[in-house]
């Protein structure tokens, strides 16, 4: 007999929040971790919250405004409320008690242009229940709202959003049964790269899971980022950042597809997203090469890639050329990161996800996600999983979740450390 969800109220430093206790976990949705980044705060660093009125955390918060993902034909699509006032997070916990469980903070992928931290794909219920850990899913600003680069303005405000979310976790997670001194950052694709970038600054964590982090693409150089931003702003009709702050969000989204912007990105020839972290000298304290080597020494790491990364992207065939490109962007840089971490005395484990039931896509970018979260039903109909026997999916989810949970708890995931590579298939 199922029991109806019951309200649970927790008092944080900013005020009371009320979530729902389900049969297995207690969830809090749409929790603000910073002020609304609207009006004069558009394109600005996140501002800390002051005292808040009692908050109903039983409904999902909005995701950052975005265009449809270019991977939707492979992994499926989602529906979610979009709003510029999106700096919120979700918490799934086995109990709001004094247990001080390990915490895992999830940063979603989406080429810095799409996605959300608490979509059904990334619901943390199963991971929290199975792993006796507290799972946090974070929204951060996307596309121009989070990653527009203008030399006179603060760079990489989307990354500052994520750092603000981690500070919120450190300050508040004990009220949700979590240990603020035991945080694992977990991210995929853009989210994984962002964690690497956070490790290049002053991280508040010392354990990280990087799934298909595009380490081989690196940061965009400031001069090129400034050029793309000028072309982008011209496409919106704005001459200055101040004018861009007054535009409708729809104008910013439309400019991503303007012919002049598409042409400028193609001319760059770097196979990068239109928006991504920029190696700004004021934002990062060292030259980028030494900086990333140093970043790899700051956390124990579980990281890896899929065998056919590039086949998820439009216009890419599953062939030797695409595998070589995936190796250049994802595979080799991940193994190098693990090597650098291990050489510095850190724990480092590498995996390759090689299961791809659909022969068109193989083990493409994002194909490991259903198994890490155990939310296979949320990917029902996804082309990348067509042909998968249910029992194989359940077995693979059990294997991957067990490994991830062991790492989150500070144990070995079950195979030899770097340079060994464990294959999931």
Active site residue 152: no
Written in H, E and C, the secondary structure of 54-117 is CEECCCCCCECCCCCCCCHHHHCCCCCCECCCCCEEEEEECCCCCCCEEEEEEECCCCCCCCCC
Choice among 365, 367, 368, 418 that is catalytic: 365
The answer to whether residue 93 sits within a structural domain is yes
Determine the pLDDT at residue 1. Answer: 55
Nearest-CA neighbor of 86 among 123, 28, 32?
32
Choice among 129, 174, 309, 352 that is catalytic: 309
How many Å is the maximal CA-CA distance in the chain? 62
Active site residue 260: no
Written in H, E and C, the secondary structure of the chain is CCCCCEEEEEECCCCEEEEEECCCCEEEEEEECCCCCCHHHCCCCCCCCCCCCCEECCCCCCECCCCCCCCHHHHCCCCCCECCCCCEEEEEECCCCCCCEEEEEEECCCCCCCCCCCCHHHCCHHHHHHHCCEEEEECCCCHHHHHCCCCCCCCCHHHHHHHHHHHHHHHHHHHHCEEEEEEEEEEECHHHHHHHHHHCCCCCCCEEEEECCCCCCCCECHHHHHHHHHHHHHHHCCCCHHHHHCCCHHHHHHHCCCHHHHHHHHHHCCCCCCCCCECCCCCCCCCHHHHHHHHCCCCEEEEEEECEHHHHCCCCCCCHHHHHHHHHHHHHHHHHHHHHHHHCCCCEEEEEECCCCCCCCCCECCCCHHHHHCCHHHHCCCHHHCCCCHHHHHHHHHHHHHHHHHHHCCCCCCCCCCCCEEEEC
The answer to whether residue 200 sits within a structural domain is yes
The answer to whether residue 311 sits within a structural domain is yes
**Rg over CA atoms, the chain:** 20
The answer to whether residue 228 sits within a structural domain is no
CATH number, domain at 71?
3.40.50.1820
Active site residue 189: yes
- b/e for 304-328, b at 16 or more Cβ within 10 A? bbbbbbbbbbeebebeeebbebbbe
Determine the pLDDT at residue 2. Answer: 66
The answer to whether residue 253 sits within a structural domain is no
Choice among 69, 84, 163, 189 that is catalytic: 189
Strand partners, 7: 20
Q: Which domain holds residue 289?
A: 6-222+275-424
Domain count for the chain, please give it.
Answer: 1
Tell me how many degrees the CA angle 94-96-102 measures, rounded to the nearest 5.
Answer: 60
Nearest-CA neighbor of 307 among 296, 323, 286?
323
Determine the pLDDT at residue 292. Answer: 87
**CB count, 10 Å around CB of 150?**
16
Q: If the chain, 425 residues long, is cut into consecutive pieces of 10 residues, what is the mean pLDDT of each piece?
A: 84 95 96 97 96 95 95 90 97 96 98 95 97 98 97 95 98 98 98 97 95 94 95 94 95 97 93 92 82 93 97 92 94 97 97 97 96 95 95 97 98 97 97
The answer to whether residue 357 sits within a structural domain is yes
The answer to whether residue 243 sits within a structural domain is no
């Amino acid at each position: 007999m199922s029991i109806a969800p019951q309200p649970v109220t927790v008092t944080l430093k900013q005020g009371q929040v009320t979530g729902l206790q389900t049969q297995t976990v207690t969830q809090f949705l749409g929790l603000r971790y910073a002020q609304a980044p609207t009006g004069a705060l558009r394109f600005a660093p996140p501002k800390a919250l002051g005292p808040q009125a009692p908050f109903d955390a039983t409904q999902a918060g909005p995701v950052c405004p975005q265009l449809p993902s270019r991977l939707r034909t492979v992994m499926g699509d989602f529906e979610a409320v979009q709003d510029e006032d999106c700096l919120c997070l979700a918490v799934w916990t086995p109990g709001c008690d004094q247990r001080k469980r390990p915490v895992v903070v999830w940063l979603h992928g989406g080429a810095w242009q799409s996605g959300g931290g608490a979509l059904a794909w990334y619901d943390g219920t199963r991971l929290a229940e199975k792993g006796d850990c507290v799972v946090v899913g974070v929204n951060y600003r996307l596309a121009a709202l989070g990653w527009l680069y203008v030399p006179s303005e603060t760079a990489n405000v989307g990354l500052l959003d994520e750092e603000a979310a981690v500070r919120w976790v450190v300050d508040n997670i004990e009220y949700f049964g979590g240990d603020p001194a035991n945080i694992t950052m977990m991210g995929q694709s853009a989210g994984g790269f962002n964690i690497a970038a956070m490790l290049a600054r002053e991280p508040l964590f010392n354990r990280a899971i990087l799934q298909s982090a595009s380490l081989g693409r690196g940061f965009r150089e400031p001069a090129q980022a400034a050029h793309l931003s000028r072309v982008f702003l011209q496409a919106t009709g704005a001459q200055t950042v101040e004018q861009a702050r007054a535009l409708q969000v729809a104008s910013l989204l439309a400019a991503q597809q303007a012919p002049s912007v598409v042409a400028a990105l193609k001319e760059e020839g770097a196979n990068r997203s239109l928006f991504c972290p920029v190696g700004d000298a004021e934002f990062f304290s060292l030259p980028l090469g030494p900086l990333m080597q140093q970043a790899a020494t700051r956390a124990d790491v579980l990281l890896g890639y899929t065998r056919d990364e590039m086949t998820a992207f439009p216009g890419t065939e599953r062939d030797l050329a695409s595998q070589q490109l995936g190796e250049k962007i994802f595979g080799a840089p991940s193994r190098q990161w693990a090597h650098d971490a291990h050489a510095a005395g850190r724990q480092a484990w590498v995996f390759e996800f090689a299961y791809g039931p659909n022969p068109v896509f193989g083990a493409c970018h994002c194909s490991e996600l259903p198994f890490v979260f155990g939310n296979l039903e949320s990917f029902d109909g996804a082309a990348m999983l067509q042909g998968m026997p249910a029992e194989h999916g359940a077995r693979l989810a059990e294997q991957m979740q067990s490994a991830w949970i062991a790492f989150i708890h500070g144990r070995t995931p079950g195979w030899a450390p770097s340079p060994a590579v464990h294959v999931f298939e």
